[in-house]
Structure 1
Amino acid sequence: MEVGVRRDRGVMRRLRLDFLKYTTVLQVSVANNLAYMLEIFFRSLMVVVLVFILSQLWKVTFALHREKILSGFSINTMIWYLIAGESIALSLPALTQRIDQEVRSGQLAYLLVRPCSYVLYNFAQYLGERLVRWSMNCLVGAGLALLVAGWPPFGWQGLLAWPLVSLLAMSIDFVAYFSIGLLAFWIEETQPFSFMFSRLTLVLGGVLAPLEIFPEPVRSIALALPFGAILYGPARTLVHFELDRFCQLLLQQVSMLVVGCAILFMIYQVALRRVNINGG
């Protein structure tokens, strides 16, 4: 009995130390990015440019249709939706390029000997960088939306649920782009795959317009694909919170993370064997 208790305590202690280790990496990543707030601020101005252009296009669209509501979205709701979607889309760091470079340069072999998981270390570093960018995008975008569209239309339920689904969306992005970066073990250039995934996410993820506005059969195809869980789902949750759709989104995001992590683990294990075979 005492042996089992000691073993359980040892496991809990290791888990606690691992948690503190990666939390520290996250904090350092946040601190490093906060040191360059001016650069991050100017980069976030891209949200202003894109949302301003899109908002003008949507104002013309509403005027031409002579409607105040299109597929459940008013012009006010549409602008806040665009802010929410673009804030996530434009906060993505250059993760694939970094992983690609570490693999191709051989630096990965040296990074693997550190007393921490290479994947979790990169996730903590990525999350710290992305949270700072996302927060700045949200602040700048909210200022623009208040000037252009007025007070936000969402309630406290959407405001509370939005950070959770946005965090899950960022985690899905990490799994996808990290897996693409590891493909550098087999192919010379991974950027075409990264570019393809990002464009599919932008077009079919609903960042330019809610998926309800898409014509059939594009709407049904986009809703069936997983890209909507990254941008459309979180943005719609903020401006149009519905409990049943929120639960469906959570289930979709968690399922994507489980499947994505399993694929990432398989790619990573095969990649590690290639490092060992090549004398890394």
Structure 2
Amino acid sequence: MVYWDIVRFSFLRFFAYPYEILAKTAERVIEVIFLIMFWSLYSKSSNQAVSVPQISAYFLIAMGVADLTMSRWGALSNLIGNMVKSGQISNYMIKPVNLVWALYAISLGRNGLRVMLAIINILLGLIIFPPQGILQIGMFVVMLILSWFISFAYNLFEGILFLHFTDAVGIRNSIQNFIRVFTGAMVPIYLFPSPLKEIVLYLPFPAMIYGPASAFSIQTFDYSVIRQILIALFWAVFLNIAMRKWWHYSMKKYEAVGI
């Protein structure tokens, strides 16, 4: 209950800045229009057969998933980094709450509008390219859950970097640029060259965005689908265990300001 109160309080503070709400909404509309125009032109000039409704729906859903799971902007890692640099994290270390979940609740509340727009994005994608049946819906739900776990571990990893480096902003920005490519946020994985695609599919990155966004395009529950789920499940479990252990180790070594 305490974490929900943190989310609600952080979200309500956002409404004190109405112009920022309008700016975020306009930014999302422009981004969607640009993507649709880009892929419309690409489909006309490319030899590859690209369905404009399908690719538009893919990016709408991909953008929505990325914002829901914080894999696109790294809201949690950004908050951890700012609090470590300012020393404010020490205020939460002495409170009777789980530090990670408290920070996650704050970042979720502060990005409440982004979450709302993400849901709208996904719904628009489903309207443009509706799922064919329960298989696609079930696959989307499963991959979205796994995406959340992997993205959570990814955010925690980026946040931990600030506990070990004086200024990890440059490192984090490099990682985020890498992530945008190999998660399928910029280019769907199925458009990658074949050898590279096979390698990338065994990494955790596609499960963060490409997995949920492409779930509505699957036709049958075959080996490739099972492999995709098992790979994502492995990375979700492994990364969360590894990052939680590294987090606890790093916090023990961290000398917070004022403690």
Alpha-carbon distance in 1 for matches of 2:204, 2:184? 11
Provide Cα deviations, 1:34-82, integer angstroms capped at 9, x if missing partner.
6767634531433333332332232233223567x44xxx221111001
Larger radius of gyration: 1
Secondary structure of residue in 2 paired with 1:98: helix
For residues 75-86 of structure 1, the aligned pairs below 5 Å read 75-86=52-63
Say how many residue pairs are matched: 253
Alpha-carbon distance in 2 for matches of 1:112, 1:181? 15
Q: Does 1:210 align with 2:210?
A: no
Secondary structure of residue in 2 paired with 1:217: helix
Go from structure 1 to structure 2 and tell me whether the alpha carbon gap of 1:128 and 1:243 turns closer, same or farther (over 3 Å shift).
Answer: farther
Q: Does 1:155 align with 2:132?
A: yes
Alpha-carbon distance in 1 for matches of 2:102, 2:19? 26
Q: Residue 227 of structure 1 corresponds to which residue in structure 2?
A: 205
- Displacement of 1:274 in angstroms is 1.9
- Displacement of 1:231 in angstroms is 1.0
Listed as ranges, the gaps of 5+ residues in structure 1 are: 1-19
* TM-score, L = length of structure 2: 0.79
Q: Residue 248 of structure 2 corresponds to which residue in structure 1?
A: 269
- Displacement of 1:93 in angstroms is 5.5
Provide Cα deviations, 1:125-147, integer angstroms capped at 9, x if missing partner.
3344556413313425755x69x
Matched residue type, 1:252: I
Q: Residue 183 of structure 1 corresponds to which residue in structure 2?
A: 161
Q: CA RMSD in A?
A: 3.3
Matched residue type, 1:210: P
2:43 and 2:52 in contact (8 A); partners too:
yes
Go from structure 1 to structure 2 and tell me whether the alpha carbon gap of 1:22 and 1:251 turns closer, same or farther (over 3 Å shift).
Answer: farther
Q: Residue 8 of structure 1 corresponds to which residue in structure 2?
A: none
State which drifts further: 25-34 or 215-224: 25-34
Q: Does 1:62 align with 2:40?
A: no
Q: Residue 257 of structure 1 corresponds to which residue in structure 2?
A: 236
Q: Which residue, out of 4, 20, 27, partners 1:39?
A: 20
Q: Does 1:237 align with 2:215?
A: yes
Alpha-carbon distance in 2 for matches of 1:184, 1:131? 24
- Displacement of 1:234 in angstroms is 0.8
Identical-residue share of aligned pairs (%): 21
Go from structure 1 to structure 2 and tell me whether the alpha carbon gap of 1:98 and 1:127 turns closer, same or farther (over 3 Å shift).
Answer: closer
Alpha-carbon distance in 2 for matches of 1:207, 1:51? 13
Secondary structure of residue in 1 paired with 2:187: coil
Alpha-carbon distance in 1 for matches of 2:123, 2:2? 34
Q: Residue 152 of structure 2 corresponds to which residue in structure 1?
A: 174
1:172 and 1:257 in contact (8 A); partners too:
yes
